[in-house]
Chain A
Amino acid sequence: MTDIVVPEGLWDAGVNPEGIVANWFYADGAQVSAGDVVAEIMVEKSTFEIEAPAAGVLRHTLAKDGVVRAGTVIGTVDGG
């Protein structure tokens, strides 16, 4: 199982520590390929695409509109 992690160092956490999961592009339980854009996070007016780190079954750890920080695990991919 591989975690889907919000990357560190993208934004200045001292200015704005939190963002949200703006969208999931695949349903919980969907089959995804490595590199598929599975989610989008938003920090203020910046959006970031989040890619699947591996192929397998996607699981949402955090629901849409859930709060994220750098390093937050928002989901997993179970390669079986």
Chain B
Amino acid sequence: MLIKNIRFFAIILFASLQYLLFIHNAFASDIFKPLHPKKEVAWQFDGVFGKFDRASIRRGYKVYKEVCAACHSLNRIAFRNLTEIGFSTKEAEALAAGYNIIDGPNDIGEMFDRPGALADHFVKPYPNSEAARASNHGALPPDLSLIIKARHDGANYVYSLLTGYKGTEPDSGGLYENPYFITGKLAMTPPLADGIVSYDDKTPQTLSNYAYDVVNFLQWTASPEMEHRKKIGYKVFIVLIVLFIFCVIAKKKVWDDAGK
């Protein structure tokens, strides 16, 4: 009787999980299928045991700072967050102090400049979206803090996009060909090329490494809680499995008395 129940239950669970998997592909699909399926990279953060590759994230931060930050804001990250990826407090303070923050008003009602502090958020390249559009032929470079979560299969998407440009010259409309973008052409100039960022470690300075590192960085900016979350997942799993066993045995003992 119990075996029958368990079998039935297991079938239902398996079937529902399969169904959920199936349906997920259904409603997450894009109407315009990109011309190429995305490149799939084996990311270190993927999977139940995924972790952050902090060395890669720090390199990715350098790529962001030297290449992407010219047009893309990263509003949700504060300088104090940099200590989570391996910078010391002093290093983070120094990085922050390298930026100019507009603060105020002061006692006489004026806005003034001051160097950045740990509590400040990353500085926007443009004061508002209108200025951003004006400097980018009408296109708005999105904020990158959440970009990995805001795109389906975000990590692979961003990596494919950055490494997927066909050529570096724009067409007559000022757009660049990239089969991984939803319409096949996008307004962003190919941002990466071999050697444009000098790494502090021995990692080869190639386009694909820059893309790999910056995606690792952006994965962290989108999900900074990831490692803590998975760690709690392991603990809860073990505790609840043990609790489950206890409860099943207790239930059996209780039901042994049934009908007596």
Interaction A to B: no
